[in-house]
Amino acid sequence: MFGMIPFGREENSLWNYLDNMERSLFTGFGDMSQFRCDIQDKGDHYLLEAELPGFQKEDISLDLAGDSLVITARHSSETEDKQKDYVRRERKFGSFSRSFDISGIDAGAIRAAYNNGILEVTLPKRAETAPAARSIAIE
């Protein structure tokens, strides 16, 4: 009685268990068109770290559009890969992109480095400008 699960499948074999584990691993990440990022406040700047494993530096672009920073990474499949006889192919090819609001950032001083699959973008904070002190004449 306890083994009866409505609309479920019995896990009687190791192969069923492994198939379900594999399915949950590859479908449990949600939207794969985006990549994971961490943003840290370092006082005078923010540090954005984006996970982009498997990309070459040339495959990644950072573009400024107004108050937005757009990070795009592109995988392309070579023509020789299309001629191989795959039994199963899980590696994705295509474009991955994210946009970030950079209002309050000194856009001219943004720096980026890519090492070991991690893109590090340094986003210096714009210096706060205090209103200039002045005297007001009374009429």
Q: What's the CATH code of the domain at 99?
A: 2.60.40.790
Cβ count near 71 (within 10 Å): 22
Q: Is residue 50 part of a domain?
A: yes
Domain limits at 97?
30-79+91-124
Q: What is the pLDDT of residue 57?
A: 92
Taking only the tens place, the pLDDT of each residue in 25-48 is 554 444 445 789 999 999 999 999
Q: Torsions phi, psi of 25, nearest 5?
A: -65, -45
Residue 12 forms part of a structural domain = no
Q: Is residue 131 part of a domain?
A: no
Domain for residue 72, yes or no?
Answer: yes
Q: Per the structure, how many domains does the chain have?
A: 1
Is 127's pLDDT higher than 50?
A: yes
Share of the chain above pLDDT 70, in %: 68
Residue 25 included in any domain: no
Question: Do residues 121 and 62 touch, judged by C-beta distance below 8 A?
Answer: yes
- For the beta carbon of residue 131, count every other beta carbon within 10 angstroms: 5
Task: Please tell me the predicted confidence (pLDDT) of residue 139.
Answer: 85
Higher-confidence residue of 51 and 139: namely: 51
**pTM score, whole prediction:** 0.63
